[in-house]
Amino acid sequence: MRAARFYDRKDIRVEDIPEPELKPGTVAIDVAWCGICGSDLHEYLEGPLFIPAAGHPHPISGESAPVVMGHEFSGTITALGEGVDDLEVGQSVVVEPYIICGVVDTGPG
């Protein structure tokens, strides 16, 4: 698949990469639309800010640069990972992905 990947400040490359592995608790999505967020622009100009730098894996996801850009997108579910029982293949979805550690108190709301 084609993907825009963040390597480092002012270094985003559009590349052919393997399809991601469908992990338990996740779904595969045929992306219909993906926006470019202001945080993507800041990441490009000033990063790495939120994207874990190469060699410094994120403590929860384990991922680090290069990573696929785009965190506000929509599409259609094409496959369900093990343990996903509240969504269906063919369902239209809108994604705002966050990974919450469950330890840090983010306050009300």
**Interface residues toward Zn ion, by CB under 5 A:** 37, 39
**Cβ closest to Zn ion, residue 98 vs residue 101:** 98
The residue at minimum Cβ distance from Zn ion is 37
Beta bridge partner(s), residue 92: 76
- In the block, tokens 């470019």 appear at 36
Minimum CB separation of residue 8 from Zn ion in Å reads: 20
- The 10 Å CB-count burial string (b at 16+, else e) for 60-86 is eeeeebbbebbeebebebeebeeeeee
The residue (of 40 and 65) whose beta carbon lies closer to Zn ion is: 40
Q: From the CB of 45, what's the least distance to Zn ion, in Å?
A: 15
Compare residues 36 and 89 and give the one whose CB is closer to Zn ion. 36
Minimum distance, C-beta of residue 59 to Zn ion, in the bound complex (Å): 21
Asked if residues 27 and 81 have their Cβ atoms less than 8 Å apart, the reply is yes
Q: In the complex with Zn ion, which residue's Cβ is closer, 9 or 71?
A: 71
CB of 98 vs Zn ion, minimal distance in Å: 10
Distances (CA, A) of 88 to 8, 10, 17, 55, 79: 36, 38, 26, 36, 8
